[in-house]
Amino acid sequence: MTTPRRFALTLALFSAVTAPGSACGQSASPSRAADTQAPVVPRELRAVWVATVENMDWPSRKGLSTAQQQAELIAILDRVAALHMNAVIL
């Protein structure tokens, strides 16, 4: 196939596909994407960030025993529950 003939064929196919009202771009039934809405989320993420770098939030200072660290974390978690949060990010 010669180059001008190939170009003409390509141009004709491109025009047929991209022309307004061409049958290639239309579906038999109307699109339902515009009719649908996003599903309702039953709950939202309400989170707190507990910083552990350089003892910013927890543990409160270096050198605490395991029991002391656990007591501090339980106090933080109790406060989070009282605030009706549903996630803790450490």
Containing structural domain, residue 61? 47-89
- Is 15 inside a domain boundary? no
Structural domain total, the chain: 1
Res 6: pLDDT: 76
Q: What is the 3-state secondary structure (H, E, C) of 8-59?
A: HHHHHHHHHHHCCCCHHHCCCCCCCCCCCCCCCCCCCCCEEECCCHHHCCCC
- Is 75 inside a domain boundary? yes
- Is 60 inside a domain boundary? yes
- What token pair was written down for 54? 């350089």
C-beta separation of 72 from 64 below 8 A: yes
1 pLDDT band (50/70/90 cuts)? low
Give me the chain's average pLDDT, please: 82
Res 8: pLDDT: 73
| 8-48 pLDDT per residue, tens | 777 776 677 677 665 555 555 656 666 788 888 778 899 99
